Amino acid sequence: MSPQDIEEHRKRIGFEVSVLLKTDYFAPDLSPEELAASIANWCDALEQWNIDQIRAAFNEHRDTRPDKRPNPGHIREILKRKRGQEFARRRRQNAEVNRTVEKPRAMTPERHAVLSQELAAEFPSYAHMIKRMPKAAE
């Protein structure tokens, strides 16, 4: 993000936090300086997450702990937990994809013969190195 984008993002966080706290929770009377310091603290704590993630974390906190006014630590805890859950979900999904990859099949004598001929034709100087597949009786 550019410095201008970061500044704009922080303003958006500050606005969202102040609205959410004033509308959903008791808002103590703070002087303008105290309010600015409080909002700056929130912005510092939350600037690495996007607004939708922050809103979702506030909503989860409100739904799970409606009697407790959140602080930046509460919201960060929710955000980190959700990030961890998403990471774990992706790892499980990747593991499922890796498990469903078809395993190589055993080489059949017919396939070996075809590949040997292709290799001998492609690399004639190495044809003497390409061994034939032994028969089961050998």
The one-character DSSP state at 128 is: G
pLDDT of residue 110: 86
Please say if the pLDDT value at position 130 is more than 80: no
Region 84-92 average pLDDT:
93
Average pLDDT over residues 72-100: 89
pLDDT at 131: 62
Measure the CA–CA gap between 16 and 14, rounded to whole angstroms: 6
Task: With cut-offs at 50, 70 and 90, classify the pLDDT of residue 48.
Answer: very high
Structure tokens, 86:
């998403």
- For the chain, the structural domain boundaries read 3-100, 107-138
**Can you give the pTM of this predicted structure?**
0.62
Higher pLDDT, 44 or 120: 44
pLDDT band with cut points at 50, 70 and 90 for residue 104:
confident
User: Is-contact 63 38, C-beta < 8 A?
Assistant: no
Which residues fall within 8 angstroms of residue 108, CB to CB, at 6 or more apart? none
Q: What is the pLDDT of residue 116?
A: 82
Q: Token pair for residue 105? A: 């099949």
**Residue 76 CB partners (closer than 8 Å, separation 6+):** 45, 46
Give yes or no for residue 138 having a pLDDT over 60. Answer: no
Average pLDDT over every residue of 107-119: 84
Per-residue model confidence (pLDDT) at position 88: 93
In angstroms, rounded to a whole number, what is the distance separating the alpha carbons of residues 17 and 90? Answer: 30
- The runs of H, that is alpha helices, within 25-136 are 32-46, 51-64, 72-100, 109-122
Mean pLDDT of 111-128: 81
